[in-house]
Amino acid sequence: MTSRKMRVSLMTGIVLTIVLLAVGVFAGGGTDLRRIVVFHDGTSSQVQQQAVAQSGSRLLRLLSLINGASIELPATGTDSALAYLRSHYAVAAVYDDPVVGAHGEVSAVATGAGGDGAGGDGVFVTPVAPPPTEIYPWGIDRIGAADVQEASPPVAGDGVKVAVFDTGIDRTHPELAPNIVGGFNAIATAADPSNYQDDNGHGTAMAGIIAARLNRQGVIGAAPHALLYAVKVLDSTGHGHTSDTLHALSVIATRNDIRLINMSYGTALATPALQPLEPVLRAAVQGIVQLGKIFVTSRGNGCTTGAGGTVANGAGGDGAGGDGAGGDAGCDPHAVRYPAVYPEVITVGASTVANTVPGYSLWGVDVVAPGGDTGADNTKKILTTNVGGGYGVISGTSPAAAHVTGAVALALQLQRNLSPAQAQDLLQRTANHLQCPLWPADASTCPSDQQGAGLIDVKAMVEALRK
């Protein structure tokens, strides 16, 4: 292997206690006054607005991708407003608007250091000191992104725009600011829709994995020449509403210059009241993919012991309460999470520094990518950018998805017309199948759905495209 002065296999000397990426998203029910109204096909926007106004509700925004609207019911006369909307000739259905939270593993929840999207404090990134010299974090090196960046000619994601759906991005971070080409705040109650500044850290962490620059300091992302488009759908605690994501997708649907979306969160839709929303969510995802946009999403986090992984310390899980709607359902590694279960998206699970699949990573994925370990050894977590111009560490399926998004950005540099199906196939046929010696004892019977096609291999992917 060629020597690289900027590369390290494992970071040393990093002190932290961490709270990884997040928790079960699109969790929670309709306990607030937010609702999603879907209208019959052909209903004009004028009629939609009139129906909402006549119910006494407040229109937050129209959702063109699903022919619907997000609204806020009146605090007084709530039942009457709902009844009016449900009986209106133009209304197909009225749904709860689930609260969402960032996806990830929360290893420090037992000591109160982290949040899970359901009562936690929303802290997902642990600040650490910057590395003494610019480096490729172990995850970027492991997938082969460093190899193709240093090849001749180099492949670094030149000109590829990536929409990062998250808590925003630190607009002034020296590793990210030159790559940011715009963005917006999709949160309906935001005072300034143009302000996508990250006030949590989770989105900045994802952005750094995808595209931290080559600038002689800090870390290098998978595609350091890619362009970042920040879409703030989660607030300072890492929470948001489903309708805000639907609005964001509606906006991105109109942007022909943005082909790639990273979404490091999802939803269980675990209660009977929320399940009817599932076809609406799928229709939105299908609409985006049919436009040729490549959608990368994290699979989600669940079990922590004895379910296909290496969480020897038993720490973490998906927080204290699973997905925010009742825990991880008996530690089922196949627990349903949306939109990760949809075949139209590229669904990503996590891998560890030891090339195993950690117990927190739910099964049923297309590929896996570095998500890091839980436990006390901080060098096995994912080093990336943090708010305030700093650096931090994080673990979970969220950073795994960001690694894959960076890989797809590299592929799009070489083949701009790559379709969503072609991108998914390319990642899978060039991936390397991992063994899972801790599950079960006989590694030859390792469940295939635990890791999909295996660990992504950017070098092999680039070689396949060049052939």
Residue 447, pLDDT score: 65
Domain boundaries, the chain: 34-96, 101-466
Residue 121, pLDDT score: 58
DSSP 8-state symbol, 277: G
CATH code linked to domain 34-96 = 3.30.70.80
| b (16+ CB within 10 A) / e for 428-460 | eebbbebebebbeeeeeebeeebbbbbbbbbbb
Would you tell me which CATH number, out of the four given (3.40.50.200, 3.40.50.1820, 3.40.50.2000, 3.90.1170.40), belongs to the domain 101-466?
Answer: 3.40.50.200
Q: How far apart are the C-alpha atoms of 380 and 138, rounded to whole Å?
A: 8
Global pTM value: 0.86
Displacement of CA 273 from its chain's centroid (Å) = 24
Residue 17, pLDDT score: 25
pLDDT at 367 over 70: yes
**Amino acid code (one letter) for 310:** T
* Residue 294, CA distances (Å) to 63, 104, 220, 404 in order: 20, 22, 23, 11
Residue 103, pLDDT score: 60
Catalytic residue annotation: 166, 202, 398
CB 238 within 8 A of CB 168: no
SS3 37: strand
pLDDT at 372 over 60: yes
Q: How far apart are the C-alpha atoms of 157 and 321, rounded to whole Å?
A: 38
Read off the pLDDT of each residue in 9-27 and give the average, rounded to a whole number.
31
Cis peptide before 333 (omega within 30 of 0): no
